[in-house]
Amino acid sequence: MQIQLREVIPDYIEKEKRIASQIWGQNISIKKGEHLHIVAPSGSGKTSLMHFIYGLRKDHSGSIFYDDTDIKNISIEKFSAFRQNKISIIFQDLRLFEDQTVKENIDIKRILEPYHKPEKIIEMTARLGIENKLNQLAKTCSYGEQQRIAIIRALMQPFDFLLLDEPYSHLDEANRKKAMELIYEECEKRNAAMVFADLKPLDFFKDEKVVYL
């Protein structure tokens, strides 16, 4: 599978920002196995881009293609199927079920299209240092902990594309490194593409292509 952006421009964006952008109004294609690091300051549309690709918002001109299909023509049901086994996301605003436990929050994604066994939840939470929070309600976890829950949840399914929207904003350096390693490993296992949006280039991406939004 590959994702193509064809002259995508958000409806709300100013002309100057659009001209300076390496993404808005451009033709970009992302293939399986590739890593795309998008760097941009706050308010420049990183989250909008992620939501456009994930099919949550349509307030843009141009087109986004999953292989040869314009996502505007994909039915709600078909989108569900893509989100179950082709494309996964870590939202900037995390989007957890606050009244569910950490384990339930992760498992609700896993059972949809199990890529990992339930034991993997324990293993991953242990790697990211939140294994003792498994039975705690999500709303009682710190923002940093919640960020790690969202990361593990996104890794529970099969995917060809992983969208990461500022996934480490509340993590310290050590936890950021652990999380990044885990994400890399999981993407490699699936030979999946990674679209990573953040405020500044990260050290982990030093060998990779960076585009400025």
Partner 1 sequence: MPLSYKSIAPLIVSGKNIFSKWLGYFGLGIGVLLLFVSMQMFVNIGQLLKENNPRKSGGYDFISISKTITNENMGKDNSFTNADLAKLKEQSTIAGVAPLISNKFRVRGTAGDIIPFSTDLFLESIDNNFIDTVPPTFTWEPGQTVVPVIFSSDFLEMYNVFAPAQGLPQLSAKTISSVNIILECSGPYGSQNFKGNIVALSDRINSLLVPQSFMNWSNLRFMKDTAVHASRVYIKTKDANDPKLISYLDQENYHLNKDKVKFSRVKSILQNIVSALGVFGILVIVLALMLFSFYLQLMIAKSKDNLRLLLTLGYSPKWLAKSVAKTWLPVYLTIIIVALIFTEILHLLFRQLSFVRAADLSYFPHWSVWITAIFLFALTIFITLNLVRKELVKII
Residue numbers at the binding site for partner 1 (CB under 8 A) = 56, 76-77, 80-84, 95, 97, 99-100, 104, 107-109, 111-113, 118, 157
Angle between helix axes 119-127 and 102-110 (nearest 10 degrees) is 120
Least distance (Å) between residue 111 CB and partner 1 = 5
Q: State which residue, 83 or 176, has the beta carbon closest to partner 1.
A: 83
Q: State which residue, 109 or 176, has the beta carbon closest to partner 1.
A: 109
Q: What are phi and psi for residue 40, nearest 5 degrees?
A: -165, 150
**Residue 6 CA: distances (Å) to CA of 64, 67, 131, 195, 200:** 6, 12, 42, 16, 25
Region of 166 on the Ramachandran plot (φ > 0 left; ψ -120 to 50 alpha; else beta): left
Q: State which residue, 29 or 80, has the beta carbon closest to partner 1.
A: 80
- C-alpha atoms less than 13 angstroms from C-alpha of 43 in its C-beta half-sphere: 2
Least distance (Å) between residue 94 CB and partner 1 = 10
- C-alpha closest to that of 89 among 174, 8, 196, 177: 196
Q: State which residue, 14 or 93, has the beta carbon closest to partner 1.
A: 93
Least distance (Å) between residue 109 CB and partner 1 = 6
Least distance (Å) between residue 110 CB and partner 1 = 9
